[in-house]
Amino acid sequence: MSHQATKAEIDAVVDRVHEIGLKTEISRGEERTLVGVIGGNAYAYKEAFSHLGGIHEIIPITKPFKLASREFRSVDTVVDVGGVRIGSDEVVMMAGPCSVEGEEMLLETARHVAAQGAKVLRGGAFKPRTSPYSFQGLGESALKMMATARDETGLKVVTEVVSPGDVELVARYADILQLGTRNMQNYALLQEAGKSGKPVLLKRGMSSTVEEWLLAAEYVLSQGNRNVILCERGIRTFETATRFTLDLNAVPLARELSHLPIIVDPSQATGRWQLVRPMALAAVAAGAHGLIIEVHPTPNQALSDGAQSLDFESFDRLMQDLRRLLGALAKQLA
Ligand code: PEP
Ligand code: MN
């Protein structure tokens, strides 16, 4: 819409779109309002708007993902999780165990990472394990422990949901719903998470292209949920010396293609705790808005992902280095 477009003119455009049978998504920027017209072949209806006032320009969004694209929204989206803002110049640290193994270890970890400057507590209650014989998580009782840890420390809570039927349950306890790499193309789950309205942390599929990932984000956004945080967590390559290959290209690339915030998970990506700190720093240098790090009081006793979990001492060292790096980048820790 043009700078001078009135509310009545914007409403008339929206009504016309709905009459045609397409959907709208409004993006209000500081400069102008953008009416996104969503639906197959929407651009073909261009002429239906030729007599309406207040329209500056009708442009096709050329990317297959629409709501996720920079073309749709030029300014960065900041996802506000109860005051923790993800997507700004303030880098957000999310940390905690791979799996919630019990209340005591969770509280001990939560207190420690909070004292070091983390803002969000991670911890799996429902674990999507490669083997059906591996520890599957404590389920709802783990969600309750996460809520207890939030009450005590003030940390926000991110935890994975693995099936559409569990979205409501997990959303009752979590501040952010994590959708895992193995579920990035579980479209029923994406839609359910979209409907919940909760912020969604969308991990990149381990064998997915950046375009497929942004199309997965589009599934959530198209349910009217704008609070999507992308998470690069490593992809499959020929290399077997590390668990996955951290695709740091994806960070500046996603920021170019999309307005959505992006964070990095160097724990899943490397599979080795020794590599976590350097790759976490590299991710922030590449422009990541945050990090999600696995931390365990006694990594060699962890029920999942011990080899890639930092102990408290290594986590403290990461936080110390991160602060110094942020100083050099003229950024801050949230
Ligand atoms: C995790 O965060 O513990 C996890 C299972 O992540 P991903 O889906 O990236 O493997
Ligand atoms: Mn893990």
Same structural domain, 245 and 105? yes
Q: Are the C-beta atoms of residues 77 and 28 closer than 8 Å to each other?
A: no
**CATH number of the domain residue 200 falls in:** 3.20.20.70
Q: Are the C-beta atoms of residues 203 and 181 closer than 8 Å to each other?
A: yes
Q: Are the C-beta atoms of residues 293 and 304 closer than 8 Å to each other?
A: no
SS3 194: helix
For residues 108 and 31, give the distance between their C-alpha atoms in angstroms, rounded to a whole number: 47
- In which band, very low, low, confident or very high, does the pLDDT at 29 lie, cut at 50, 70 and 90? confident
CA-proximal residue: ligand 1, atom 10 (nearest): 181
What is the average pLDDT across 282-291?
98
For residues 132 and 311, give the distance between their C-alpha atoms in angstroms, rounded to a whole number: 27
Q: What pLDDT sits at residue 38?
A: 87
> What ranges make up the beta strands (E) of the chain?
23-28, 33-38, 79-81, 84-86, 90-96, 120-122, 156-160, 176-179, 200-203, 228-232, 262-264, 290-294, 332-333
Substitution candidate for ligand 1 out of 161, 181, 202 with most atoms within 8 A of CB? 181
Does residue 261 form part of some domain? yes
Same structural domain, 129 and 25? no
- In which band, very low, low, confident or very high, does the pLDDT at 31 lie, cut at 50, 70 and 90? confident
Does residue 272 form part of some domain? yes
Q: What range does the domain containing 14 cover?
A: 7-49
Same structural domain, 171 and 30? no
Residue 60 neighbours by CB distance under 10 Å? 12
Substitution candidate for ligand 1 out of 121, 189, 268, 273 with most atoms within 8 A of CB? 268
For residues 119 and 95, give the distance between their C-alpha atoms in angstroms, rounded to a whole number: 8
Q: What pLDDT sits at residue 52?
A: 94
Report how far ligand 2's centroid is from the alpha carbon of 305 (Å).
5
What is the average pLDDT across 185-208?
98
Number of domains making up the chain: 2
Report how far ligand 1's centroid is from the alpha carbon of 324 (Å).
28
Same structural domain, 153 and 15? no
SS3 263: strand
Same structural domain, 41 and 117? no
Quote the pTM value: 0.94
Does residue 210 form part of some domain? yes
- In which band, very low, low, confident or very high, does the pLDDT at 19 lie, cut at 50, 70 and 90? very high
Report how far ligand 1's centroid is from the alpha carbon of 89 (Å).
25
